[in-house]
A = this chain, B = another copy of it.
Amino acid sequence: MAEIKKINHVAIVVKDIDQALRFWQEELGLELHHIEDVPSQKSKVAFIPVGESEIELVQPTSDDSGMAAYLEKRGEGMHHLCVEVDDIDGMLERLKEKGVRLINETALELPGRKMAFVHPKSTNGVLVELYQLI
CB under 8 Å from chain B, chain A span 49-77:
50-53, 55, 57, 74-77
Indicate with 1 or 0, residue by residue over A1-26, a CB within 8 angstroms of chain B CB atoms: 11111110010101000001001101
Residues of B with C-beta under 8 A to A74: 74
What is the number of residues of chain A that contact chain B, defined by CB distance less than 8 Å?
Answer: 44
Distance A32 CA – B116 CA, assembled complex (angstroms):
24
Residues of chain A touching chain B, judged by Cβ–Cβ distance below 8 Å, are 1-7, 10, 12, 14, 20, 23-24, 26-30, 50-53, 55, 57, 74-78, 81, 83-84, 91, 94-95, 98, 100, 120, 122-126, 128
Distance A29 CA – B1 CA, assembled complex (angstroms):
9
